[in-house]
Amino acid sequence: LQNDSVVAGGGAIEMELSKYLRDYSRTIPGKQQLLIGAYAKALEIIPRQLCDNAGFDATNILNKLRAKHAQVG
């Protein structure tokens, strides 16, 4: 049975930075918004790769991580 619980560790900083940048990008107009949003998305590659390497469903885990980071701050 696969365990998909969320624990702090690898990828947590990248997810928090991604959340911060995504929120910030919504406050500015123009091309900068797209660039910052793309950088935020790129940061999520690290936790996604960690999930893939561990054999987890990366989409499911990243959704849980986003939800947890949204609750905290």
**Residue 1 within a domain:** no
Domain hosting residue 66, numbered range = 12-70
The encoded tokens of residue 71 equal 């609750």
The model's pTM is 0.74
Q: How many domains does the chain have?
A: 1
Q: Is residue 7 part of a domain?
A: no
Nearest-angstrom CA–CA distance, 45 and 54 = 14
Q: Are 44 and 66 in contact (CB under 8 A)?
A: no
Each residue of 12-59: pLDDT tens digit? 888 889 999 999 999 999 999 999 999 999 999 998 998 888 888 888
Tell me the per-residue pLDDT of 8-21, one tens digit each, with 9 for 90 and over. 677 888 888 999 99
Tokens 């123009």 belong to residue = 30
Residue 2 lies in a domain: no
Query: 62, 69 in Cβ contact below 8 A?
Result: no
- State the residue for tokens 């910030």: 24
Of the pLDDT bands very low, low, confident and very high (cuts 50, 70, 90), residue 66 is confident
